[in-house]
Chain A
Amino acid sequence: MRPVIPYVTAALLFGLGVYGVLRRRNAVLVLMAVELMLNAVNLILVTADTTVRAQLPHGGQVFALFVIVLAAAEIGVGLAIVLQLYRLRATVAVDEVPLAERSPASAAATSTGAAAAGGTEGAR
């Protein structure tokens, strides 16, 4: 078995996950890209488990199981946040979420031109 094959696969998957997190506007798609990154890390852990002789056997596989559990918890809380965001703002686009509380006047102004205001908010 050549360990470089799964290692390079994992590196490429991680790069794809980073790209997806930065590229996507839809929060659910961002979460999917995060899952890609977590799976890349899992693949690294499992491959290292089979290629490295460690003091404790199967440490990498145990860590992979732990990461899977963490991903399940993360996706549960993340989707609760996304659904709450959708209920409050009727959008799941991550660049339309204001990072600070705004006064009602400016909120009304941005809701009329959401796309343009989102751009300027991001620039500020």
Chain B
Amino acid sequence: MTGADVLLLGLGAVAVGAGVLVVGTRHLVRAGLYLVVCLGALAGMYLVLTAELVAWVQVLIYVGAVVVLLLFAVMLTRAPIGPSDDLDRPGWPAALIGGGAGLGLAAVLVDAYRWTAVELPAAGTAERLGDQIFRSWVLPFEVLSVLLLAALVGAIVLSRPEIGRPATDRNPARRVADAEGGRSR
């Protein structure tokens, strides 16, 4: 057991514990905050595993953007203060499949790696990773930029207010009246 092992064990325990709370808590907003703890612990594990840039991108995009978006969605849909009782379905099939998947994968990986030790490589800097991205992986990188554009356009189209209205309902005066009715409510 080296120092890296102890760190990985501790951060992994924090990540799994926070993950249990994310899928188990009865408070909607707290699930998002436990998700922050889980993703932060994972970023720490990336740091120990010498993936420095991935760790900071994880903090920036996941903790910074994705969780904020999720909390916005929680607030915009329904955000009761205190526990809510209608968050879960009956649990045993989910527990069976989820536990089977998790423990089965864990058993396979334990069987594959046992307790072997691996020498950690030198810390990977952003320079070396950027070199790889823009030399070997530049085409997937560009394709991803197109995908982000498509997701942007798709989110805008999905958020248009006309979706779901009957076709006769689409004259502007009616829409304004509806919007004002919604606001006064």
Q: Report A's interface with B, CB cutoff 8 A.
A: 1-9, 11-20, 22-29, 31-33, 35-36, 39, 42-43, 46-47, 49-51, 56-59, 61-62, 64-66, 68-77, 79-84, 86-88, 92-93, 95
Contact = CB atoms under 8 A, between A and B. Distances in A.
Contacts of A22: 89, 93-94, 97-98
Contact of B5 (A1, A28, A64, A68): A1
Contacts of B137: 59, 62
B23 A79 contact: no
Interface of A, secondary structure class, is: helix
22 contacts: A2-B1, A2-B116, A2-B117, A6-B12, A7-B113, A8-B106, A9-B16, A11-B102, A13-B102, A17-B23, A20-B98, A23-B89, A23-B95, A25-B89, A35-B66, A43-B46, A56-B136, A69-B147, A73-B148, A76-B155, A86-B78, A88-B163
Contacts of B136: 56, 59, 62
Given A9-B16, A22-B98, A50-B50, A83 B73 contact: yes
Interface residues of B, number: 93
Interface of B: 1-2, 4-5, 8-9, 12, 15-16, 19-20, 22-23, 28, 31-32, 35, 38-39, 42, 45-46, 48-51, 53-54, 57-58, 61-62, 65-66, 69-70, 72-74, 76-78, 86-89, 91, 93-95, 97-103, 105-106, 108-110, 113-121, 124, 128-129, 132-133, 136-137, 140-141, 144, 147-148, 150-152, 154-155, 158-159, 161, 163-164
